[in-house]
Structure 1
Amino acid sequence: MSNIPTVLVLPFPAQGHVNPLIILSQKLVENGCKVLFVNSEFDHKRVVSSIAEQENSSNLNEESGLKLVSIPDGLESDEDRKDLGKLCASMQNFMPEALEKFIEDVHLKGEDKISFIVADLGMSCALNVGKKLGIKGAILWPASAAVFASVYHIPPLIHDGIIDSDGSRLTTKKTIQISPSMAEIDTRDFFWLNMGDTMTNKVLFQYLVHCCQSLNLTEHWLCNTTQELEPGPLSFAPKLLPIGPLLRSYGNKCGNTKSIGQYWEEDLSCMSWLDQQPHCSVMYVAFGSLTFFDQNQFNELTIGLDLTNRPFLWVVREDNKMAYPDEFRGHNGKIVEWAPQQKVLNHPAIACFVTHCGWNSTMEGLSNGVPFLCWPIFGDQIQNKTYICDEVMVGLGLDKDQNGVVSGKEIKLKVEQLLRDENIKSRSLELKEKVMNNIVKGGRSLENLNRFIKWLNE
């Protein structure tokens, strides 16, 4: 039996959750751990098929110390996993037992005994399984510390009559302040109120409350943020340890030039296209893994891209069902199905980032000093947009018209306004330096992570 710790890592089954957990896993491997990365079977198939084209993918499991494995989520293969309420209900009923069986099977085979569990907060049922089997654990919160603070503060919010026990809004107050150290938040922006229809919101709220009940099973709460970015929320929840920004280290021990853990294969041709573009000229347009526009909004976006008359790199996923309008010229642009986003944002040709404001995208944009044009869609993205525009002031928001549509003219107007604003540019670069200093030698986040890994190894 080796003394190398074997860590089981369990993400919530969504691209924005898999990414930070796979990056953390790679950092554990670089520091001498073995990792079993446990996706749901459905997501595991997607991840494996997206790396199947890569060189070295056959060696991934054998040589790197990072092994991709899976357990069922309880849904049939043809059921809709975009229905988050249904997915969460199924996982809550099915996954603890499946995980327990998986761990017991690993131990029965006499492979490396699992010594530790790192779970996404959305999968904190794993801590209960660990407790039953005598395995310690940690949670990683993959969103902002501010959003964690609002989740952590749910019992007082219910007690004070701000929200109902199903998460719905009771108060007539427009804004509240969770702590004197934190900015005020609009009570309509609680992310569990913005996940879908009312029923979905309620199911997800109960799921979240259920997950938080397992927090007391571990001392180790990790978060993809930095001290400078969120001093207020971190002082409100002092157990939350900032280890961000969690960025991919290309060409690491895991031996891949492409990013492991993606649901779609990255189109690397966009990098050579960017090499041909002038410095600070390109709008990078990407809305994450879950955003869908209707045909009308899709048309307005294409109009906006044409109107700016600038080069653009636009990520349009293969599951996009909208047709490009006949009048869309798109001469200045390149469209890809999925991009190596961190590499793209680090490219000198990028001028700004038109984004849905997911937290991974926010951290990658901040880490590269890129100004934001914010177009939040749901969940925590709305709170993240407020943070970008009003707190750190490195972006502008896109406004909807009376029909709830972001018009092509609005896109053109805001792009021009953003790129003329020298203050936003200089703030973006100052913030980049502060954020990146966290992960160099002596940096606060790196020291936090190293302390955690040292504790793991002991």
Structure 2
Amino acid sequence: METGQQELRVFVFPLMAAGHLLPAVDIAKLLANQDARVSIIVTPGNAAEVQKTTHLFSPPIEILVIDWPYPVAERRDHMSQLTSENEHLDFLISTADLRPSFEQMVKLRRPAAMITDMFYPWTADVAEENGALRLVFHGINFFSLCLKDKLLHNSISEINGDRFVVPGIPHKIELERSQIFDPTKARPDFVELLERMKEAERRSFGTVVNSFYELEPEYADHYTEIIGRTAFHVGPVFLRGGERGGEDKITSWLDSKPAGSVLYVCFGSLSRFTNAQLREIAIGLESSGHPFVWVVREDYEVAEKEVKSGKGVIVRGWAPQLVILNHRAVGGFLTHCGWNSSLESIAAGVPVVTWPMFADQFFNERLLVDVLKIGLQVGVTKYTLREEERELVKAEEIAAAVGRLMGLGEEAEERRRRTRGLREAARRAVEEGGSSRKDLGRLVRAISSRQSAVFHM
């Protein structure tokens, strides 16, 4: 660092949900590797876990614990601890109470830039008031950002028919009306939050995206050139942000299986199922004839008696997903289509069966199935957080989808070829001279320019 030059200081402020928190921490690591002085803002219940993955950096990544009376009083400051739709919405809306503590941190440390979650629209005001750049982190890809721009902020009444083609995007993408968020049926305070998010994003400097250009070039261009937003694609962030998780006893079981023979099954930290659906999943996996690893919530009463042949393993709670997906024995992934899981599967070269439920998951399904052509769908059609409202997917439907994914034949082999090609492209993107490495440098230069301008005022 040159004499008289200030440290490049950046705040990273993620939402306390796995799909947002984990990649945001990896982005913080990428910036720290570029000699930025990075502070990650977390709530008390998440500080220790984040510290475990960041303490080896030099200079160290700073962990700032923010005061948030509402959830901390109940020791529920991570979305995976919540069980109902209203609890999720209350959680998101209450994050506005974080503003006073965050403002104090900004005034004390004066960051040049802040990468803050989309659910914190008020950080746009804080950034403007303190001369900092605000960059938005959505936790989704360019494809979903483009579809969201077309659909989620418009009235669903403008859509004609139960099935429609999304207008004005590079591919012909069809969706069911039931597969997208309907603001007319949502809580008014949540709809108001969405509007504030949209307005704050317009005022922000740009968007940091956990994707790579070669994966979705038409949509990266559409987002920047047609929608007109500045964006930095820096992913897959876990490939250079540091591996999450380590070896686990499940790997010894995988070691005993033939290459490409095992199906990995995981629906993320927020998805929930009825007991009836869990039984159908268990029976379907068992009857598919393929060995499997199924990760379930610790509070599930899964009918283990349905998994009786010894072909499958049930893992309760956390599992080392990156390790499992990259094991030679794993040849397929039954997934909820959260973007973290989808991108991890792509980077591991593993094709997918798609089972979306809410958020951006139905959009991701269309990217995986229609655009990238590396997945096939189990057939769900209803967007909802409420497990009791979902259609029951029968065991035979699950077994059939798994059989198509894991089986022989040209269709299955073509998915595998495509996914292997994307795996190699993902790795090239984060290497020296790769598209994501270049965009990370572009991001650092933009932040440096802002800090230099403020420093010399």
TM-score surpassing 0.5? Answer: yes
Partner Cα separation in structure 1 for residue 393 and residue 15 of structure 2:
31
In structure 2, the gaps of 5 or more residues are 225-229, 383-389, 450-457
Match of 2:160 among 162, 172, 189: 172
**Equivalent residue for 1:102, pick from 92, 102, 105:** 105
1:333 counterpart residue number? 312
Equivalent residue in structure 1 for 2:181, among 186, 192, 198? 192
Determine whether 1:131 maps to 2:111.
no
Distance verdict in 2 for CA 1:231–1:2, change over 3 Å: closer
Report if aligned partners of 2:354, 2:377 keep a CA contact under 8 Å in 1: yes
Q: TM-score scaled to structure 1, two decimals?
A: 0.82
Does the alignment pair 1:247 with 2:235?
no
Whether the 8 Å CA contact 2:110–2:130 is kept in 1: the answer is no
C-alpha distance in 2 between matches for 1:191 and 1:18 = 24
Matched, 1:68 2:48: no
Within-5 A mapping of 1:135-154: 135-153=132-150
Residues 312 and 10 of structure 1: CA distance in aligned 2, closer, same or farther (over 3 Å) = same
Tell me the secondary structure at the aligned position of residue 122 of structure 1: coil
CA shift in 2, pair 1:378/1:154, >3 Å = closer
Q: Do the aligned partners of residues 97 and 358 (structure 1) sit closer, same or farther apart at CA in structure 2, a change above 3 Å counting?
A: same
Q: Gaps (5+ residues) in structure 1?
A: 260-265
- Structure 2 CA distance, aligned partners of 1:370 and 1:213? 38
* Alignment length (residue pairs): 419
Paired residue type of 2:210: N
Question: One-letter code of the match for 2:296?
Answer: V
Q: 1:35 is paired with a residue of what secondary structure? A: strand
Q: Does 1:293 align with 2:281?
A: no
Given that 1:74 and 1:90 are in contact with CA atoms closer than 8 Å, whether structure 2 keeps it comes out as: no
**Does the alignment pair 1:14 with 2:24?**
no
| Distance apart, 1:333 and its partner CA | 2.5
**1:65 shift after superposition:** 1.9
Structure 1 distance, partners of 2:302, 2:426, is 39
- Measured on the aligned residues, the alpha-carbon RMSD in Å equals 3.0
Q: Equivalents in 1 of 2:56, 2:157: separation in Å?
A: 47
| Cα displacement (A) at 1:21 | 0.6
Give yes or no for the alignment of 1:34 onto 2:21: no
Task: Determine the C-alpha separation between the residues in 2 that align with 1:189 and 1:4.
Answer: 49
Matched, 1:268 2:248: yes
Task: Give the alignment's TM-score, normalised by structure 2.
Answer: 0.82
How big is each residue's C-alpha offset from its partner over 1:225-270, in whole Å with a ceiling of 9 and x where there is no partner?
Answer: 22232233222221233222222447x5xxxx754xxxxxx77222
> Is the counterpart of residue 360 in structure 1 residue 340 in structure 2?
yes
- The C-alpha deviation readout for 1:73-120, integer Å capped at 9, x for no partner, is 45243287532221222223x12223112333xx2xxxx543321112
CA separation of 1:327 and 1:175: change in aligned 2, threshold 3 A: closer
Letter in 2 for 1:442: G
Distance 2:140 2:174 in 1: 16
Residues 163-190 of structure 1, C-alpha deviations (whole Å, 9 max, x = no match): 1xxxx43432432434242433426266
For 1:146-201, what per-residue CA distance to the aligned partner results, in whole angstroms no more than 9, with x for missing partners? 2212333469x64xxxx1xxxx434324324342424334262664339xx9334x
SS at match of 1:204: helix
Quickly say closer, same or farther: Cα 1:186–1:244, change in 2 above 3 A: same
Contact 2:66 2:102 in 1 (8 A): yes
Equivalent residue for 1:181, pick from 145, 152, 170: 170
Aligned to 2:454: none
Q: Secondary structure at the match of 2:213?
A: coil
Change (3 A) 1:317 1:187: closer
Q: Which amino acid aligns with 1:232?
A: E
Residues 364-375 of structure 1: matches in 2 within 5 Å? 364-375=344-355
Paired letter, 2:25: I
Secondary structure of the residue aligned to 2:102 is: helix
Corresponding residue for 2:455?
A: none
Aligned residues of 2:147 and 2:363 also touching (Cα < 8 A)? no
